[in-house]
Amino acid sequence: MNGVILINKEKGKTSRDMVNELNHIFGIKKIGHTGTLDPIATGILVMCIGKYTKLTELLSSFKKTYIAEIKIGIKTDTLDITGNVEKKENCNFNEKDVIKVISSLKGKIIQEIPMYSAKKVKGKKLYEYAREKTYIKPITNEIEVFDISLISIKKDIITFQCTVSKGTYIRSLIQIICDKLSVIGCMNNLIRTAQDKFLIENTFTIDEIKKGKYKLLKIDDLFDFKVYNLTTEEYHFVKNGNKMNLPFDDKYLILKYDNQEIALYVKYNKLYKPYAMLL
């Protein structure tokens, strides 16, 4: 079994739990996801199966869209509502300031990676250091906010939508918003509604998949790359992973033979070489 399935992750489950569920359902070990969702989060999780795990990194690079809730007046150790409460206070803010702050985040910004995350430092995950109460110098990275807008404010809950680059921690983005508003707050809820062209409306729950209700996406469904149909001679050349000299400027090419997907090739130094063999 080779392909991609769009999962709608349920709240309370880890992304690894979803992988384990599919391992059990399909009896296949080679399954991976393309972007971790916190246990508190729900929404789209793109799952690569079989040879399609070779496409995990490429699919992970796709921008992602979220609807997030901020609970104002509470600070926790995990930066979300499930964590241990470190501080509570009454906070004052207004819609005008929220809109101004949120709008200011569009573009490239620096975020601090949460201590309660799976990011590895010296071979160890940050949450392991946090649980051991071992101090680690804060780690930052650059992300890009492609779009962000306010949805609503209801008492102490601010809801917003954003489309962001790979590596964005919404919990960190929320802390930036709170700092700019001079309030404390944490993530109250999170839904990933899209990953590039993959939409939450087209996902399947684990229960649906158990009943055989799902769609296995193939490479044509994943990318809008040019398709090149191989001749018989080229097919025998390509199936051994050889480079090809082809008259195209496209970075990626989907190679097919007799209507069957063979490989994804990437252009490097004027030649196309294998990115992922799908035979």
Question: Hey, which residues are catalytic here?
Answer: 38
Q: What's the token pair of residue 93?
A: 């803010």
Residue-by-residue DSSP string for 19-85: HHHHHHHHT-S-EEESS---TT-EEEEEEEEGGGGGGHHHHHTS-EEEEEEEEETEEETTSBTTS-E
Query: What residues have CB less than 8 Å from 134, skipping those under 6 apart?
Result: none
3-state secondary structure of 259: coil
- Rounded Cα–Cα distance for residues 166 and 158 (Å): 23
C-alpha–C-alpha distance, residues 13 and 43, integer Å: 11
**In terms of Cα–Cα distance, which of 45, 38, 1 is closest to 23?**
1
Neighbour tally for 22: CB within 10 Å: 21
In the numeric block, which tokens belong to residue 74? Answer: 């509470």
Rounded CA separation 32/18 (Å): 9
Any bridge partners for residue 194, and if so which?
Answer: 65, 199
Give Rg (Cα) of the chain.
Answer: 22
Work out the number of other CB atoms within 10 angstroms of the CB of residue 178. 22
